[in-house]
């Protein structure tokens, strides 16, 4: 099988699986749908791994393969094609592996759902779209994948379309993303205008020569063209990777079924923005201003969104805010030119966050769709596998030494520390404080869910439940299709950091994909202090982040395990802070008032006043009325008497003659 065929099959297998299981869902049945889609995604996972192996063995280098010319217009070739380098293969492998785990898990999670086949069809389609995005060799296909993953996300958030909250959330997600895409598209237009091509290779090769280009944006003020491009592209990333202030859609996206929260809204799609900026590193490296902007947005998101996580009670929302915060970490890393560190954190995060989400889902099914942690507790005895894997995921998330998240997060913090970028001091404080916050909400989640007293109550009442909302039987551990993916994700959550930190960050593994200007290269500086993964883990006890993590653990243990009253006291004593966090800084209320209601009011005003009132009422119907009025009067002249007409003709002739005399 030629390389081109292999690469084509990787996205096409899930596309075919999606079409079969979606369009012929009644013919293939439930089992047919999950077998077809799982085999498809397993196939593309295996093929991705084989491409990775070929790369590791040095059989293929950077491959830039054109598939077909989408369109040629104005001498510009718009293509569909693949760029296969280490960054792409890493993403392909992570995406297909997590997707495979989620596919298997779905058999258990969606077991009783009437939309079973539709769900598999969607997640297969998602895998296709995400692969098209990461494998692209040009901006057009990137934008296609970008919008296509957004579309599937829209369909999946609204998967339970009878729920008003779900179909609100999916529309919100799509529209907020469109705001980002608006910037993204302007960025792409600027790229085309500046470089005359949308092909990555052509654009990146020409980037250094364009450093002096400017664009006049507002009132004649000149912007550096590359800064303009980078900020526009990053606005797209802010939408997709949910960076403040375009983050508001991600917590609401939890209305979707949990498997997709894991796959789309934690592990893969939301990291597309991070991937995109890393891919565009040759452009971003030319603009310090854009990078500072990226870094500060990321730092704010990492810090502020984590804080909200502490006061949430919905288990999925806590994990969602944690995702926002971790995406903020990745963005900060991009901003300090530590692109590899961002990608590295993206990879470790994909594993442990998918694990945490799927663990949350396992709890949710055991408690019959109860998501409120206030009605959980003491599940550890009843769900041992879920409990242990959740602990592993949490340790990875808080950055406990030797776990995956430790390496990736620690490297980001160190990189920010070393960075000379404007504003990096503030960013450093944000990411270090973020460690304490992460630890707080993570252990809070563990304790409220798995430890303490049982407070089980259920939301849905059917034959399993007693009428007062109490569970009739103890919660049971989930079936194998659920627990096996948990175990398979727990393994990389422990090991992948220790195993890959050296090659990915310091071994130059991503050098073929990522460009870092020498003056910005914090990771090169960091590598001088790096003496292997084990040494780094042992060294952790001498660092501030480690002790902040321990402090968070201690506070959470004290407050949520031993003195639950303290949390209540906190909310009573500091009502202002509590309300601010509970209302998520009032972003939603503000957007709802200004943009949603405001936009509608503008539309109604233009329609009723301008269109119906002025144009139709005054101009169109008004001129019709005027014609009527004139006609009613002119009608009287049509007397039918010959002498009247003769008189009128004479008057007319005289008038014409007079006019002729006057004019000439």
Q: Which is nearer to another protein, 178 or 417 (CB)?
A: 178
What is the smallest separation between the CB atom of 562 and another protein, expressed in angstroms?
45
Q: What is the DSSP letter of 372?
A: B
What is the smallest separation between the CB atom of 43 and another protein, expressed in angstroms?
23
Q: Which residues in this chain contact another protein in the complex, by CB under 8 A?
A: 68-76, 143-144, 146-148, 151, 154, 158, 161-162, 164, 167-168, 171, 174-175, 178-179, 181-182, 185-186, 188-190, 192-193, 196, 215-217, 599-600, 602-604, 606-608, 610-611, 615-616, 619-620, 624
Q: Which is nearer to another protein, 188 or 226 (CB)?
A: 188
Burial class, 360, CB count within 10 angstroms (exposed 0-12 / middle 13-18 / buried 19+): buried
Q: How far apart are CA 306 and CA 315, in angstroms?
A: 14
Q: How far apart are CA 382 and CA 474, in angstroms?
A: 7
Cα 613 off chain centre by: 43
If residue 651 lies in a helix (H) or strand (E), which one and from where to where? Answer: helix 642-663
What is the smallest separation between the CB atom of 70 and another protein, expressed in angstroms?
7
Q: Which is nearer to another protein, 164 or 462 (CB)?
A: 164
Q: Which is nearer to another protein, 196 or 377 (CB)?
A: 196
Q: Alpha carbon of 369 to those of 118, 158, 485, 533: distances in Å?
A: 20, 17, 20, 41
Asked if 295 and 238 count as a contact pair (C-beta separation under 8 A), the reply is no
What is the smallest separation between the CB atom of 424 and another protein, expressed in angstroms?
31
Q: How far apart are CA 591 and CA 107, in angstroms?
A: 38
Q: Which is nearer to another protein, 602 or 651 (CB)?
A: 602
What is the smallest separation between the CB atom of 189 and another protein, expressed in angstroms?
4
Q: Which is nearer to another protein, 13 or 411 (CB)?
A: 13
What is the smallest separation between the CB atom of 334 and another protein, expressed in angstroms?
24
DSSP result, 249-309: HHHHGGGS-HHHHHIIIIISGGGHHHHHHHHTHHHHTT-HHHHHHHHHHHHHHHHHHHHHH
Q: Which is nearer to another protein, 91 or 185 (CB)?
A: 185
What is the smallest separation between the CB atom of 563 and another protein, expressed in angstroms?
44
Q: Alpha carbon of 32 to those of 123, 191, 485, 650: distances in Å?
A: 15, 45, 20, 92
What is the smallest separation between the CB atom of 35 and another protein, expressed in angstroms?
23
Burial class, 12, CB count within 10 angstroms (exposed 0-12 / middle 13-18 / buried 19+): middle
* Residues contacting 312, CB < 8 A, separation 6+: 318, 321, 441
Q: Which is nearer to another protein, 182 or 506 (CB)?
A: 182
What is the smallest separation between the CB atom of 597 and another protein, expressed in angstroms?
11
Q: Which is nearer to another protein, 541 or 606 (CB)?
A: 606
Asked if 469 and 457 count as a contact pair (C-beta separation under 8 A), the reply is yes
Q: Alpha carbon of 153 to those of 177, 267, 625: distances in Å?
A: 11, 13, 53
């Amino acid at each position: 099988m030629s390389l081109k065929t292999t690469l084509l099959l990787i996205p096409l297998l899930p596309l075919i699986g999606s079409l079969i299981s979606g369009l012929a869902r009644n013919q293939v049945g439930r089992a047919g749908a999950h077998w077809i889609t799982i085999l498809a995604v397993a196939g593309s996972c295996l093929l991705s791994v084989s491409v990775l192996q070929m790369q590791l063995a040095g059989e293929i280098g950077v491959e830039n393969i054109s598939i077909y010319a989408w369109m040629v217009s104005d001498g510009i070739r718009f293509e569909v094609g693949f760029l296969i380098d280490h960054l792409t293969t890493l993403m392909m492998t992570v995406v297909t592996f997590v997707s495979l785990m989620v596919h298997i898990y779905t058999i258990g999670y969606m077991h009783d759902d009437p939309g079973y086949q539709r769900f598999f069809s969607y997640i297969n389609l998602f895998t296709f779209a995400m692969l098209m995005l990461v494998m692209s060799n040009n901006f057009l296909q990137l934008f296609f994948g970008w919008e296509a993953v957004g579309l599937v996300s829209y369909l999946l958030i609204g998967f339970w379309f009878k729920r008003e909250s779900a179909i609100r959330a999916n529309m919100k997600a799509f529209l907020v993303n469109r705001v980002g895409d608006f910037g993204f598209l302007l960025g792409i237009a600027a790229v085309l205008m500046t470089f005359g091509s949308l092909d990555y290779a052509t654009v990146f090769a020409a980037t250094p020569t364009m450093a002096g280009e400017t664009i006049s944006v507002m009132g004649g003020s000149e912007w550096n063209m590359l800064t303009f491009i980078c900020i526009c592209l990053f606005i797209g990333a802010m939408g997709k990777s949910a960076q403040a202030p375009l983050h508001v859609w991600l917590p609401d996206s939890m209305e979707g079924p949990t498997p997709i929260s894991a796959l789309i809204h934690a592990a893969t799609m939301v990291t597309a923005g991070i991937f995109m900026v890393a891919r565009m590193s040759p452009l971003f490296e030319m603009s310090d201003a854009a990078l500072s902007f990226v870094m500060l947005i990321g730092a704010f998101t990492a810090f502020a969104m984590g804080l909200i996580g502490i006061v949430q009670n919905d288990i999925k929302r806590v994990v969602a805010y944690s995702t926002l915060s971790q995406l903020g970490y990745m963005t900060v890393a991009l901003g300090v030119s530590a692109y590899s560190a961002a990608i590295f954190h993206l990879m470790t995060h994909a594993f442990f966050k998918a694990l945490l989400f799927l663990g949350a889902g396992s709890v949710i099914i055991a408690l019959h769709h109860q998501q409120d942690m206030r009605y959980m507790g003491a599940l550890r005895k009843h769900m041992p596998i879920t409990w242990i894997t959740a602990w592993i995921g949490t340790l990875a998330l808080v950055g406990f030494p030797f776990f995956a998240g430790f390496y990736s997060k620690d490297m980001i913090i160190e990189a920010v520390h070393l960075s000379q970028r404007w504003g990096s001091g503030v960013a450093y404080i944000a990411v270090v404080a973020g460690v304490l916050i992460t630890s707080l909400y993570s252990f809070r989640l563990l304790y409220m869910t798995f430890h303490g007293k049982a407070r089980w109550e259920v939301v849905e009442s059917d034959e399993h439940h007693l009428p007062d909302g109490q569970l009739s039987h103890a919660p049971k551990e989930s079936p194998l299709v659920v627990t096996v993916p948990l175990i398979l994700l727990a393994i990389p959550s422990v090991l992948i950091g220790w195993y890959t930190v050296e090659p990915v960050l310091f071994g130059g593994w991503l050098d073929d994909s990522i460009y870092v200007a020498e003056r910005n290269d914090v990771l090169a500086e960091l590598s001088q202090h790096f003496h292997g993964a084990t040494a780094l883990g042992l060294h952790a006890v001498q660092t501030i982040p480690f002790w902040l993590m321990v402090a968070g653990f201690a506070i959470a243990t004290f407050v949520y395990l031993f003195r639950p009253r303290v949390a209540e006291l906190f909310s009573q004593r500091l009502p202002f802070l509590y309300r601010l966090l509970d209302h998520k800084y009032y972003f939603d209320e503000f957007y709802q008032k200004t943009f949603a209601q405001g936009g509608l009011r503008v539309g109604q005003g233009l329609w009723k006043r301008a269109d119906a009132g002025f144009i139709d009422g005054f101009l169109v119907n008004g001129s019709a009325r005027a014609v009527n009025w004139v006609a009613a009067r002119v009608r009287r002249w049509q007397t039918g008497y010959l002498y009247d007409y003769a008189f009128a003709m004479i008057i007319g002739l005289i008038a014409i003659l007079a006019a002729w005399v006057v004019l000439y």
